[in-house]
Amino acid sequence: MARLNPGDVREILQMLEDGINLIPKLGKMEKMKMRSKIRRQSNWLSGLSSPSADMILHKLEERLSDVFSSYPYGFSDNLKKILEGKSARFRSK
């Protein structure tokens, strides 16, 4: 069973957190709440076995629907490219 390593999980969460800075007209408290929600996904991401990019993106969009609805256009596509790179090594094994 292949799993995401801690570095991959950190990179995914960091990209999600960095995306918050791209959201216009968002107050400091809202940003803090969104970052907290994102960080709570760490254990869930670490526990996935043989994850695919589509599955991870779909579940993240479900779990963080309010955050994803605020991201600018194209953010999900960029995230999917990164997730595909990370999940590609599971298919090659």
Give per-residue pLDDT as tens, 23-79: 888 899 999 999 999 999 999 999 988 888 999 999 999 999 999 999 999 999 999
Counting every residue written for the chain, the total comes to: 93
* Closest listed residue to residue 59, CA positions, set 72, 48, 50, 70: 48
In the chain, % helix, strand, coil (3-state, to 5) comes to: 75, 0, 25
The SS3 of residue 70 is helix
Q: What is the pLDDT of residue 63?
A: 95
Residue 12's alpha-carbon distances to 1, 21, 25, 27, 29, in angstroms, are 20, 15, 24, 23, 22
